[in-house]
Amino acid sequence: MKSVKDQIDVFKEGAEELISEEELSKKLEIAAKEKRPLRVKYGADPSAPDIHLGHTVPLRKLREIQELGHTVVFIIGDFTARIGDPSGVSETRKALSEEEVKQNAITYQEQVFKILNKKQTEVRYNSEWLDALSPTEFLTLTSRYTVARLLERDDFNKRFKSNLPIAVIELLYPLLQGYDSVVVDSDVEVGGTDQKFNLLVGRELQRDYGKFPQAVLTLPILEGTDGVQKMSKSLGNYIGVQEEPSEIFGKVMSVSDTLMLRYMRYFTGWDRATCDALENDLNKEKIHPKEMKVKLAKQIVSLYYDESRAEEAYEGFEHIFKNKKLPEDMPLFTFKESSMEIGPLLFEIKLVSSKSEARRLIEQGGVKVNQEKITDTKLEIDLDQEVIIQCGKRKFARVCKA
């Protein structure tokens, strides 16, 4: 096993903050003497079924920690997902049903284990202990934190000052997440910078319950493909790990050169030395930015599919964008109707995830019908003859009447 110093270096690489290095060193020393792994907690609320590359930043760090010999305690927040994590949001989240949460949790796990080592991962559902809390135990937990302290949270504070509603149940969220750390005896908790307040609540609650408080490791929140806002499915600037290889490849190729370097360090699984060498070659003009981006896109596709699918995605990208030709393998959709409005049609053929996204793309000029740009959101598409629909730069489909 690596020395304590070397392990600390792995924990800190690419992280925003470690609270505290001294405490983590002590934990590593004690664990080594007792010949046991650290318990490194990571929690995720399955509020949506799919994960995108932004979610993989903490997962890749956790995999590095597993390679040091430690155990990841992966907590699926099936109880807390019914509340919705208020971190970074400006309004109360819509509550999910128990059935929605269960289904999302299954899909989420399938994707998570594309990165984590399943043998070194302990999966827990926090409904196991939160559903079991008696009224007295629950009231005792709520008594350990004040409303004033909870309102110190940046997102709560902003909403309070702006007279925006904050549900009492949202104020309980940090306490419930913190209590998870008490129950599973977390040594370290990993999360994004937007989770810092919640992670620190876990430290304080562990101390209140007479336990050695967990160390806290925060990781950066990466920008989406627009290079401005954090990666988010609702903002449409995401790259999903279950998207088609061609879609992943094309989206990576569309990012700026500056963002390309951040993606290289956080999304590829390449070590620091490899990333440093590639960035050095780029700075010395030994490699062209486009060539570098192709390497990045191929690597990301390979992680979630394989090298052959990555090569196919590259060839497809070159065929469409370099040669300015339409793809040969466009899917064909047939309908009983002789015509359909463009918005619902885009949704039916799965080129958009919602009708609102369809409307937005049409208004922004991102939709073509038979290679002609359209802007009319109510346009009726005649299906008596085959029509080619293009959505964005990379999504194509053929449609006609059955």
pLDDT at 84 over 70: no
Per-residue pLDDT at 331: 84
Q: Quote the CA–CA distance of 53 and 59 in Å, as a whole number.
A: 10
Whether the per-residue pLDDT at 93 is higher than 70: the answer is no
What integer pLDDT is reported at residue 236 of this predicted model?
A: 76
Each residue's pLDDT tens digit, 100-147 = 878 888 888 888 998 999 999 999 999 999 999 999 999 999 888 888
Rg (CA), the chain: 24
pLDDT band at 324 (very low <50, low <70, confident <90, very high): low
Share of the chain above pLDDT 90, in %: 51
Structure-block tokens of residue 105: 């949790």
Q: Are 194 and 167 in contact (CB under 8 A)?
A: no
Token readout for 184 is 């599973």
Count the residues in the chain. 402
Judge whether 24 and 18 are in contact, CB under 8 Å. yes
Q: What is the pLDDT of residues 149-168, one digit of tens each?
A: 888 777 777 887 888 877 78
Specify the pLDDT at position 11.
97
Helix, coil or strand: residue 337: coil
pLDDT tens track for 188-229: 999 999 889 999 999 999 999 999 999 999 999 999 988 888
For residues 382 and 338, what is the distance between their CA atoms, to the nearest angstrom? 6
Amino acid found at 306: D
What's the rounded Cα separation, in Å, for the pair 249 and 133?
47
pLDDT tens digits, one per residue of 277-314: 999 999 999 999 999 999 999 999 999 999 999 999 99
Nearest to 239 by CA among 393, 87, 54, 18: 54
First to last CA, the chain: 63
Residue 241, pLDDT > 60, answer yes
Instruction: Please report the pLDDT score of residue 90 as a whole number.
Output: 45
The average confidence (pLDDT) of the chain is: 88
Averaged pLDDT, 359-379: 88
| Dihedral of alpha carbons 187, 191, 193, 196, sign | negative
Task: Note the pLDDT of residue 7.
Answer: 96
What pLDDT band is residue 320 in, cutting at 50, 70 and 90?
Answer: confident
Q: Would you state the structure tokens that stand for residue 54, as one six-digit string?
A: 């932004």
- % of the chain surpassing 70 pLDDT: 95
pLDDT at 89 > cutoff 60: no
| 51 pLDDT above the threshold of 90 | no
Domains and CATH numbers, the chain: 4-219 (3.40.50.620), 245-322 (1.10.240), 332-401 (3.10.290.10)
Q: What value does the mean pLDDT take over residues 340-351?
A: 91
Residue 398 DSSP one-character state: E
